[in-house]
Structure 1
């Protein structure tokens, strides 16, 4: 599905963002990338759909090089790769439905999307996407009126409306409370399993990586230092990835148990 060959990224100031990355990610995998801040997680993720330009190497999706693609071909490849951001990236003054329909922009001309002239089939697709993340009742609500967790669900629905074969999620739970974090991760995992959409997620919390991933990739200083199944991601391996013992703020477990308990009591 995704082939990353000899990929490196050097910034203008000489900082190495990525160094000789070689990875093959198969269709339907749920991959979690872990590492300290600055390890290269976001750089790698954003390189897959060319939000970041790499310095050398190639990245291919379904056998097509996105690294070399230009114009219409690049847009066609990007249609298959949906992105979910930490900050949601919603148009707050627009309705939830309009935000989800923005996932269809790549399929239509500029004038049509500016005038909000989406066909009936697109509207139905967007409403189904909202239903799948349990937020259909908010379709005509302004995005600014939603909680953070609800906004991230809208972002997931927008990605679904794009009908992608790949979903990239860059720290999608970083600004959410523990209970909402679980709900968002449950949505992503369910979509991955039901639709066989290849899903790659950057995460800070180690126990989330263990709970949801089928495969964990550890980055340190722009290099892959671990790549394997969850069963091999021991505390010792995480210590190697982070270059130090695991710290409490990198575990969500106790906070999540407390949040679930409080929710049940209410």
Structure 2
């Protein structure tokens, strides 16, 4: 379980990224957060693994405060959280296999990982993760030789090899075409269902949110304005989230950024 208790974030320029957030996200949920750019989606997501530090409040993961964690405790908590970025965040000159093995870094000493001395079990785990997202044949290709969709599937494989209990995906399909978008979202959903990995995805697309989420959280100006199951996310609710009525093409595709 991920718990937000009175969480707020104020940036150095005075901008309020989050305003008194109180939510619980339960194990195995597939949560999609929606809202305009600047609504606080990325801040909310990245505060879970402390890529963004909050200003007030506390975030608990399975009862442990990641907000207060330091040193070894923080590393162990982060080890259970896989992160998927819009820009893939791969080492482009390295092979796909090495990029997936990066998910094992948190389990070994710094010296071992610098020299790439991963045990056989880790390599086998990486191969299984690549097979799970259907790009095993690309294991020895350089990451920059892959298409955008393939690169994003490498980042999903990396989270699988990490044996993450939570996957955070920040606009993972924003730069992908519709067919590849479906493949990536299908991978995330299938992994969520098969392994029970709690998955939180930031999206702009309303249709994708409805198709894949078990729960939708709507943010507007740093505040939660909707939190409920997909069936309650009506057109009227989305209009409240986005602060205006939406055009038909926005429901069919991607809401304005």
TM-score interval for Structure 1 and Structure 2 normalised by the shorter chain: over 0.9
Please say if residues 208 and 252 of structure 1, whose CA atoms lie closer than 8 Å, have aligned partners that are also in contact. no
Please say if residues 45 and 170 of structure 2, whose CA atoms lie closer than 8 Å, have aligned partners that are also in contact. yes
Task: State how far apart, in whole Å, the 1-side matches of 2:55 and 2:219 are.
Answer: 18
1:13 shift after superposition? 1.0
Other-structure match for 2:72: 72
Other-structure match for 1:207: 207
1:248 shift after superposition? 4.7
Other-structure match for 1:264: none
Other-structure match for 1:112: 112
- The DSSP-based 3-state class of the residue aligned with 1:92 is coil
Q: Supply the RMSD in Å over aligned alpha carbons.
A: 1.0
Aligned residues: 254
Other-structure match for 1:163: 163
- The DSSP-based 3-state class of the residue aligned with 1:227 is strand
Other-structure match for 2:81: 81
Task: State how far apart, in whole Å, the 1-side matches of 2:223 and 2:110 are.
Answer: 39
Other-structure match for 1:152: 152
Please say if residues 210 and 230 of structure 2, whose CA atoms lie closer than 8 Å, have aligned partners that are also in contact. yes
From the superposition, tell whether residues 123 and 252 of structure 1 become closer, same or farther in structure 2 (CA, over 3 Å).
farther
- The DSSP-based 3-state class of the residue aligned with 2:217 is strand
1:249 shift after superposition? 5.3
1:247 shift after superposition? 3.1
Alignment of 1:226-241 (within 5 A): 226-241=226-241
- The DSSP-based 3-state class of the residue aligned with 1:60 is strand
Task: State how far apart, in whole Å, the 2-side matches of 1:155 and 1:214 are.
Answer: 23
Please say if residues 204 and 250 of structure 1, whose CA atoms lie closer than 8 Å, have aligned partners that are also in contact. no
1:245 shift after superposition? 1.3
Please say if residues 205 and 253 of structure 2, whose CA atoms lie closer than 8 Å, have aligned partners that are also in contact. no
Unaligned runs of 5+ in 1: 255-266
Please say if residues 126 and 157 of structure 1, whose CA atoms lie closer than 8 Å, have aligned partners that are also in contact. yes
What TM-score comes out, normalization by structure 2 length?
0.97
Task: State how far apart, in whole Å, the 1-side matches of 2:181 and 2:24 are.
Answer: 28
Unaligned runs of 5+ in 2: none
What TM-score comes out, normalization by structure 1 length?
0.94
Please say if residues 178 and 252 of structure 1, whose CA atoms lie closer than 8 Å, have aligned partners that are also in contact. no
Task: State how far apart, in whole Å, the 2-side matches of 1:62 and 1:219 are.
Answer: 24
